Amino acid sequence: MDRYLINGGKKLYGEVEISGAKNAAVAMIPAALMVDGVCRIENMPQISDTDMLMSIISALGAKIKVIDPTTVEIDCRSVHNCDAPYDKMRRIRASYYLIGAMLGRFGCAKTTMPGGCNFGVRPIDQHIKGMVAMGAKVEVKNGFVYAEARGGRLNGARIYLDKVSVGATMNIMIAAVMASGRTVIENAAREPHIVDLANFLNSMGADVRGAGTDTIKVNGVERLHGGTYSIIPDQIEAGTYMMAVAAAGGEVRINNIIPKHLECISAKLVEMGVDVEELEDAVIVRREGPLRPTNVKTLPYPGFPTDMQPQISTALCFANGTSFVTEGVWDNRYKYVNELRKMGANIEVSGRTAVIEGVPCLTGAPVAACDLRAGAAMVIAGLCANGVTEVEDVHFIERGYEDFTGKLIRLGADITVVRDPDEPEKVPMFAV
Ligand code: EPU
């Protein structure tokens, strides 16, 4: 099994470049199925989730040309096949976007139920509610989702989401782009990647308005044309490096970011006694003195992101006092706490709240990456611990962080990546 060996105790110094946003990229690749032309996507993150999605659409018949490491051209004009490779689809959460894209393109879809990191139940009822409101007949049977638009084309509809859901908002937006008439999504999620997906679709000829607010209006069009689009920087990747510097100490300039997307993370860091200097498209994070405790509740954007919860909880393990972290999005996102305890962390979880008593130091230990963000948190813990931390199941980390270890090593971290020569295909079992 591939693993990282982290020799802790090194502060981080230097500059790091942030890659394109994973959760935007994983929606754009399936959405490219609807484009009648060549869709050129720049700033594509090089992570295993995007590889997996490209291999899924390429199995459907898409022609994919890699122009440079972060630019791809996707041409789906010759795709006539709805039969996606189910073994791959099952492993990735974002395969649910194929339902919206296939319904938009072909008027029918057959996909597996998506996989996903296990943070409790992860239903897709709101996605289905949206498709049904647009006139699709949807059946979930034996782990598969069968969807068919009555009359071969979806119709615009007014859809109120019962839960603020990133995936449902984006999936319905994708499906609505080529529906007949106007779709209105109310109680929509407002994450930066939702705005990015809308901008991507609009650059190919769609008519999506209001993304970034809680009401999105989509006027259906007959066709999407080819075009070029550059993905926004990854808010969570940037936040993860900010938290790593907060925990390990040092001074790092984080480049290629949109400071506005990081406001709530920066605000929490300042409360914790960390210096955060915002520049136009970069942020400098500096931590010399002790960390102060704070309280955090994760919420949909613009609240504090759930995808930063394991990283901030790990940094708070070193704070001078007691912090309360409450998870407001997922039922169960604290599996990693047991791993941190192996390193000497003092955390008690009660329901959705973790009570974290700061300790002077953690000690290196063998730990597992329970999922993508929990895996990043284990690496942060290892950077700060005394001795060597061995992180297993690192495929979870590699599905969402481009060159995580390389970027940290260039900042001064002491990390050895141990590749298992017998490890079969580097395909993780679950997606985020
Ligand atoms: N929910 C429902 N019904 C639905 C959809 C969601 O009840 O039909 C509930 C969920 O159970 C959860 C809440 O609504 O309690 C929010 O779920 P959401 O749909 O927003 O999550 P998602 O779209 O499945 C995306 C990201 C996650 C991120 C969440 C929240 C992707 C591929 N995944 O998941 O990212 O945690 O939004 O921001 O975009 C990660 O990147 O590490 C990651 C897990």
Q: What is 369-407 written as a DSSP string?
A: --SHHHHHHHHHHHHHSBSEEEEE-THHHHTTSTTHHHH
Tens-binned pLDDT, residue by residue, of the chain (432 aa)? 899 999 999 999 999 999 999 999 999 999 999 999 999 999 999 999 999 999 999 999 999 999 999 999 999 999 987 777 888 888 888 889 999 999 999 999 998 887 655 555 678 999 999 999 999 999 988 888 999 999 999 999 999 999 999 999 999 999 999 999 999 999 999 999 999 999 999 999 999 999 999 999 999 999 999 999 999 999 999 999 999 999 999 999 999 999 999 999 999 999 999 999 999 999 999 999 999 999 999 999 999 999 999 999 999 999 999 999 999 999 889 999 999 999 999 999 999 999 999 999 999 999 999 999 999 999 999 999 999 999 999 999 999 999 999 999 999 999 999 998 877 555 433 333
The C-alpha torsion from 75 through 80 and 86 to 89, rounded to 10°, is: 30
Classify 118 as helix, strand or coil: coil
**Ligand 1: which residue has its CA nearest to atom 27?**
432
Q: How far is CA 292 from CA 5, 133, 309, 323, in A?
A: 28, 49, 17, 9
Q: How many CB atoms lie within 10 A of CB 263?
A: 13
3-class DSSP string for 46-82: CCHHHHHHHHHHHHCCCEEEEEECCEEEEECCCCCCC
Choosing from 165, 334, 404 the residue with most ligand 1 atoms within 8 A of its CB, the one to mutate for a pocket test is 165
Residues with CB under 6 A from ligand 1: 23, 26, 93-94, 117, 122-127, 163, 165-168, 189, 306-307, 329-330, 372-373, 400, 432
Give the model's pLDDT for residue 430.
32
Has 370 been annotated as catalytic? no
How far apart CA 70 and CA 63 sit, in angstroms, is 17
Give the model's pLDDT for residue 50.
95
How far apart CA 189 and CA 168 sit, in angstroms, is 9
- The position carrying tokens 């290196």 is 364
DSSP letter at 293 equals P
Length of the chain: 432
- The position carrying tokens 């060549």 is 38
How far apart CA 146 and CA 107 sit, in angstroms, is 11
Give the model's pLDDT for residue 118.
58
How far apart CA 215 and CA 213 sit, in angstroms, is 6
How far apart CA 158 and CA 169 sit, in angstroms, is 13
- The position carrying tokens 């990229």 is 25
Relative to the CA of 373, which ligand 1 atom is closest? 42
**Ligand 1: which residue has its CA nearest to atom 14?**
165
What order do you get walking across the sheet with 63-68 strand by strand?
63-68, 71-75, 35-42, 224-230
How far apart CA 339 and CA 148 sit, in angstroms, is 44
411 CA distance to ligand 1 middle (Å): 31
pTM of the model: 0.96
Give the tokens for residue 83: 């039969």
The CA angle 309-313-319, to the nearest 5 degrees, is 145
How far apart CA 118 and CA 3 sit, in angstroms, is 21
- Alpha carbon distance, N-terminus to C-terminus of the chain: 20
How far apart CA 232 and CA 257 sit, in angstroms, is 8
**Residue among 83, 12, 58, 19 nearest 256 (CA):** 19
78 CA distance to ligand 1 middle (Å): 32
What order do you get walking across the sheet with 136-141 strand by strand?
108-112, 144-149, 136-141
394 within 8 A of 2, measured Cβ to Cβ: yes
Give the model's pLDDT for residue 89.
82
Catalytic residue (one of 39, 76, 117, 370): 117
Instruction: Mention every residue, 6+ apart, whose C-beta is less than 8 A from residue 110.
Output: 82, 83, 84, 102, 144, 145, 146, 147
How far apart CA 431 and CA 56 sit, in angstroms, is 14
Residue-wise pLDDT tens digits, 108-151: 999 888 765 555 567 899 999 999 999 999 998 888 899 999 99
